[in-house]
Amino acid sequence: MSIRRGADWGRPVRAAAGAQVIGSDAELAAVVGSSDGSGEPGELIVTGGDLHRTLGAPDRRDVTNAELVAFEIDLVRGVGVRPDGTEVALLAVAHVVGLPVSRRRGVEALWRGPSFVAANAAFLGEANIGPRAHPGDGLLDVSWGELPRRDLRAARSRMRTGSHLPHPAIEERRASSWSAPEGTRYIVLCDGVEVGELREIRLTVEPDAVVVAV
């Protein structure tokens, strides 16, 4: 069950026998994508990445003996279509990002053309892209659109502090699913890993899909 406002979230656990220590969002997504179950508390221990930071980023010197906190987190699943018509599955634990096509790569390209951020975690590197995003609430925090050149610098500055204000050129939604504007193409990254150019992107939340400990 997804977390409710004011409810406690997380429970103390110890590392399970044979626990996997995972240092990034992409590594966790790869592990989850190859698994056939949600795992036991203390089986997947996350020590780095944007999801880890959203969960408080505790600095564990020895995860095998520390008292950890286990959380049931949501996953972001979806599909997109490549230029050749091939459908590709998408999976992320922290965020799916769509950058403008034919622009420079990396998050610096965000909003310089049609872009989107679908956040399950609050952070994207140094930027607080989704102050309301919560990996256990069953919702995506989605922003999409394109900013005028004159507003890019101010928007990036506000994103770093989590104080970015709504802009008339950027649409926002918190929902369990989202579809990109019809016909729009993006360079898509899942947890920082580039998937390629996609269109017809559809994303949905899989609530309480996996148990991780930090």
Question: What pLDDT does residue 37 have?
Answer: 59
pTM of the predicted structure, to 2 decimals: 0.88
Nearest to 69 by CA among 9, 6, 133, 135: 9
Residue 214 to residue 212: CA distance in whole angstroms: 7
Question: Which CATH topology does 75-207 take?
Answer: Tumour Suppressor Smad4 (2.60.200)
Domain boundaries, the chain: 11-74, 75-207
Contacts of 76 (CB under 8 A, 6+ apart): 90, 91, 92, 93, 95, 96, 118, 120, 140, 190, 203, 204, 205, 206
Q: 62 versus 19: which is more confidently predicted?
A: 19
pLDDT tens per residue, range 69-98: 999 999 999 999 999 999 999 999 999 999
